[in-house]
Each structure stands twice: as C-alpha cells, then as structure tokens.
C-alpha cells in the first residue's frame, strides 16, 4: 500500500485499530526535591559551615535586568561622593562643619577702622549703596578719603556730636557717611540721594565745622555778610532747611537767618547786617537784595546749592 493508506485486513481476521502515534514531546521527568537542610549547628562529615554575613558592608546591588545596562562611570562616581558626604555629615555636627570653614574674620561693624580690609569696604559700600567718582585723595595726608560707619568715627567736634545726639540722629545714612568726610576737608562735593536720606545734615555739619574754625563775627565785620550761604529753589524748602540747621547751630551759638520773598526786603537786610553766620535764601530774593546792595557776600566762602537740579 502506498503511504498513508491502511493495509487490507488479513483474510478471515478482524480489523485492529492502528496503534496511537507516540507523543511529540515527552514529559520531562519530575525533579526530586532537594533534601532538607540539616539543623543549625549540624553538618555532615567533611562539610565547612558558611561564614556569617558581614553586616557592616551593604549587600551588592542586584544585577540589571536583561536588556538594560548598569550605571555609568559618572553615575557611580556621583553615588560614591554622596555616600562620602552622608558619612561625613553623620560623623560631624553642624557646628563642627561651620567652624572648619570659619577663618576668624568678623563682620565689618565689629571691626575698627584699621582692621577693615578691601572686602569689608566693598560689602559696606554695597550695603549702604555708596558710590563715588572723582579725586578722593585727602589733601593733607594723601590717603584715600573713606566713609565713616558710626558718628564717633566722623571726626566731628564733641559739641556737634552732642547736638547730633540731641537731635535724635542715632546712626548716619549713606550720604552722610560719605559727604561729611569730604566736606570736612573742604572738597567740592555733588551728593545725590533720594528724598528723606538726610542730605541736609550731610552738608550742614561740615559747614558748621568750617564756621567754628573761622574768626567770630564782630560788629566791625557784621556788614561783610554771612560766612556760609545755602540756596534752595522754593520758600518752603528754605524754611525747612533753616529749621533743620538751627537744631545743630543753636547749641554752637551760630546764628541762622533766611531771606525769602513775601517779606520786607529792608527788614531782612537789616537783620542780616547785625551779624549772621549762615544765610539760607532763594535765588530770586538773593539776586534782588544783591542788586540793591542790601546784602553783601564779602566773607562768604562756603556755598551750598540744595536741589541744584531744580535750580
């Protein structure tokens, strides 16, 4: 018979079914379970007990799953640095780590003027927004003129410092810290500061020091005019400057008088002729009085222009 055909049955016999085909995949033999481990402390002859696990070392990381690569060299280095930092933080307190970086330097407010270095001055100027341009050399010593930090460092006379304390000025502002040292050495100064920063005090105190160094006004020299002149654009500002100047001048027996419009120019010129150390005036009324020869400025060598940008 051909392939795939069932042979005919033998004569006189019964037809037997063909045997079943063998299975394609033979069942694997079942694995025998491993013998149970011996009880703790009992080992068969010739066996060596395994070493106890080292608890100080962390277990190795599991291998990456198939198809994924392990950590790169950079990642491994970063992880190692983090471990070192964590170990250092656990071994040292916060104060110990700070003290290791502390170089012994103090804040500039706790140092003397001689202990201040360039870094301290830079931080000080940034804190008080102090910037300077021009010649900052002291005419006498040849050193750079530096701002002061507290009133006792300002080189002001004791009488003026007492007047400053009495007026309620506890700490100088930025414009005062820089302009007063420049004014004390008779430097020409242009000071720029926002409203309410104490500009009036910044030019009044050096002016009073200058007046104290001059010979006092006598009846013979009273007709030569004031020793210092302050000009402001408006009448209200002139009166405000006059009141502010008197806070310090009255303690020093220095006379202050204002010359503004709206009042009798003859009366103003008469009071001024009796002897005034400081005159505060508006430009319009001052020009009028000078043209009429009511006021002269023969001995005035200290001039202040307040609100100069408006004038």
Write the CATH number for 232.
3.40.50.300
The whole-angstrom separation of Cα 11 and Cα 15 is 10
Q: 137 forms bridges with which residues in the sheet? A: 144
In the chain, the number of structural domains is 2
Both 219 and 293 in a single domain? yes
Both 154 and 227 in a single domain? no
Both 261 and 297 in a single domain? yes
Complete edge-to-edge strand list for the sheet that includes strand 278-281: 256-259, 278-281, 228-231, 302-305
pLDDT band at 110 (very low <50, low <70, confident <90, very high): confident
**Per-residue model confidence as pLDDT tens digits over 58-84:** 666 666 665 555 556 566 678 888 888
- What is the CA angle 224-227-228, rounded to 5? 130
In this prediction the pTM is: 0.65
Both 122 and 164 in a single domain? yes
Token pair in block for residue 238: 């002139």
**Per-residue model confidence as pLDDT tens digits over 188-222:** 999 999 988 999 999 999 999 999 999 999 999 99
The whole-angstrom separation of Cα 11 and Cα 200 is 143
Both 220 and 189 in a single domain? no
- 37 inside domain: no
Q: How far is C-alpha 230 from the geometric centre of its chain's CA atoms?
A: 36
Range of the domain at 221: 214-305
pLDDT band at 256 (very low <50, low <70, confident <90, very high): very high
Per-residue b or e along 182-219, where b marks 16 or more CB atoms closer than 10 Å to that residue's CB = bbbeebebebebeeebbbbbbbbbbbbbbbeeeeebee
Q: How far is C-alpha 306 from the geometric centre of its chain's CA atoms?
A: 31
pLDDT band at 4 (very low <50, low <70, confident <90, very high): low
- How many other CB atoms are there within 10 angstroms of residue 258's CB atom? 25
Both 192 and 243 in a single domain? no
Predicted local distance difference test score (pLDDT) of residue 129 = 94
The whole-angstrom separation of Cα 272 and Cα 275 is 6
- What is the CA angle 286-290-291, rounded to 5? 120
Both 166 and 233 in a single domain? no
Is pLDDT larger for residue 245 or for residue 19?
A: 245
> Residues 164, 147: contact at Cβ < 8 Å?
no
Both 242 and 284 in a single domain? yes
Both 146 and 220 in a single domain? no
**Per-residue model confidence as pLDDT tens digits over 77-104:** 788 888 887 777 666 565 565 555 445 5
Both 172 and 227 in a single domain? no
Q: 256 forms bridges with which residues in the sheet? A: 278
């Amino acid at each position: 018979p051909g392939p795939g055909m069932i042979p005919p049955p033998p004569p006189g016999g019964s037809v037997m079914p063909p045997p079943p085909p063998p299975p394609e995949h033979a069942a694997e033999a079942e694995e025998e379970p491993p013998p149970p481990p011996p009880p703790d402390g009992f080992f068969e002859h010739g066996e060596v007990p395994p070493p106890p696990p080292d608890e100080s070392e962390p277990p190795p990381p599991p291998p990456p799953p198939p198809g994924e690569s392990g950590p790169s060299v950079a990642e491994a280095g970063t992880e190692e640095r983090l471990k070192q930092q964590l170990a250092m933080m656990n071994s040292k307190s916060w104060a110990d780590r700070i003290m290791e970086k502390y170089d012994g330097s103090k804040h500039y407010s706790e140092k003397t003027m001689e202990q201040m270095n360039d870094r301290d001055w830079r931080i000080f100027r940034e804190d008080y927004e102090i910037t300077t341009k021009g010649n900052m050399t002291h005419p006498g010593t040849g050193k750079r003129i530096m701002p002061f930090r507290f009133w006792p460092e300002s080189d002001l006379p004791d009488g003026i410092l007492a007047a400053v304390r009495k007026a309620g000025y506890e700490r100088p502002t930025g414009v005062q810290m820089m302009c007063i040292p420049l004014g004390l050495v008779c430097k020409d100064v242009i000071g720029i500061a926002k409203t309410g920063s104490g500009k009036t005090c910044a030019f009044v105190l050096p002016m009073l020091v200058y007046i104290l160094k001059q010979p006092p006004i006598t009846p013979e020299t009273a007709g030569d005019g004031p020793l210092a002149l302050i000009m402001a654009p408006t009448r209200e500002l002139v009166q405000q400057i006059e009141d502010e100047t008197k806070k310090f001048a009255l303690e020093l027996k220095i006379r202050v008088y204002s010359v503004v419009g709206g009042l009798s120019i003859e009366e103003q010129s008469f009071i001024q002729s009796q002897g005034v150390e400081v005159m505060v005036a508006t430009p319009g009324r001052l020009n009028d009085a000078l043209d009429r020869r009511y006021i002269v400025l023969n001995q005035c060598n200290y001039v202040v222009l307040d609100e100069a940008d408006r004038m």
